[in-house]
Amino acid sequence: MNVDGKVVVITGAAGGIGAAMARRFAGKAAALVLGDLDGDAAAALAASLPGEAVGVEVDVTSEEQVAELVGETLERHDRVDLFCANAGITSGAGLEASDEAWARTWAVNVLSHVYSARAVLPSMLERGEGYLLHTCSAAGLLTAVGDAPYSVTKHAAVSFAEWLSITYGSRGIKVSALCPQGVDTPMLREGLEAGHIGARVTAAGGAVLSADDVAESVVAGLDAERFLILPHPEVARYYLHRATDTDRWLAGLRDLRDALS
């Protein structure tokens, strides 16, 4: 999958990884549609990019708004080649997380992926081709120390991406799960500034990459059509340890958490 000449939609596009992907794809894609809850920021980013790009306001927790985003893109360009479901949030909470925090995290990190797949797959299946890129986080393969809603929802996001690949892979639909670990974005920086244990464990678990580094990994992963796109190679090693010696892996994370507490 090469983005040259493709119609690409990115949610959560106004900052962080989403904005880095937009910058990386700009000038290559036939058209970029950048959706974000902050529509003004998405529009400003689109205006700063070479090539055809538009920024729009979209709340990814609203199935109606996601469907409108896809519908308007199809009206303008007749197709969506690559849909990047990139919006995500953390909660920073454990058992004390409110029902509202659980519901919001579930809506953004999981249901938004369901909504975009429902909206974009019919036209992709009709054409017999299309690509879904879901930003899932290394937490979806490992865990998120100190953040129960984030850990649970990111695991669900990976599971949903796997299901999509199994269900539609033989019908021309490619699926990738982007699972970075520490990335220098406001999400991580704010967590570190607040002294959140989860952010500190993430930073201690490997290199903190720039969002632009992650975007480069996305380009390479799409080109190779890999299901798991792992900007941090160490995540594959941690994932293997988790599967082959789960008790040791859990004990190691407990030790790391205790050392940083």
Enumerate the active-site residues: 150
58, 68, 83, 211, 247 from 116: Cα distances, Å: 12, 10, 8, 23, 37
Structural tokens at position 140: 């979806």
Task: Write the DSSP string, 55-123.
Answer: EEE--TT-HHHHHHHHHHHHHHHS--SEEEE--------STT--HHHHHHHHIIIIIHHHHHHHHHHHH
Using DSSP bridges, classify how beta strands 31-36 and 7-11 pair: parallel, antiparallel or unpaired. Answer: parallel
Q: How far apart are CA 66 and CA 104, in angstroms?
A: 16
Q: Are 110 and 156 in contact, with CB atoms under 8 Å apart?
A: yes
Residue 250: name the closest of 237, 260, 241 by CA.
241
Q: Are 66 and 10 in contact, with CB atoms under 8 Å apart?
A: no
- Residue the block writes with tokens 């080649």: 81
Q: How far apart are CA 73 and CA 67, in angstroms?
A: 10
Q: How far apart are CA 192 and CA 219, in angstroms?
A: 28
Beta strands in the chain (DSSP E): 7-11, 31-36, 53-57, 82-85, 130-135, 173-178, 228-229
